[in-house]
Amino acid sequence: MSNLQIARLRRRYGVSETLARSLAALAYGGEHDC
């Protein structure tokens, strides 16, 4: 998942980067960099 996609999620949902990454991980099959 790219930073651009993360930023897009943050704007759409108004969440922090950490939460956006968590949402992204769920939405994109658990891909995340802890």
Domain ranges of the chain: 1-34
Q: What is the pTM of this model?
A: 0.53
- Tell me what pLDDT residue 31 has: 58
- State which H helix or E strand residue 19 sits in: helix 17-27
CB 10 within 8 A of CB 20: yes
User: What is the predicted pLDDT for the residue at 20?
Assistant: 84
Q: What is the pLDDT of residue 6?
A: 83
pLDDT tens, 1-34? 688 888 888 899 899 989 988 888 888 776 555 5
Q: Report the pLDDT value the prediction gives residue 23, as an integer from 0 to 100.
A: 83
Torsion, Cα of 14, 16, 22, 1 (10° steps): 80
**In angstroms, rounded to a whole number, what is the distance separating the alpha carbons of residues 29 and 14?**
22
CB environment 3-23: b (16+ within 10 A), e (fewer): eeeeeebbeeeeeeeeebbeb
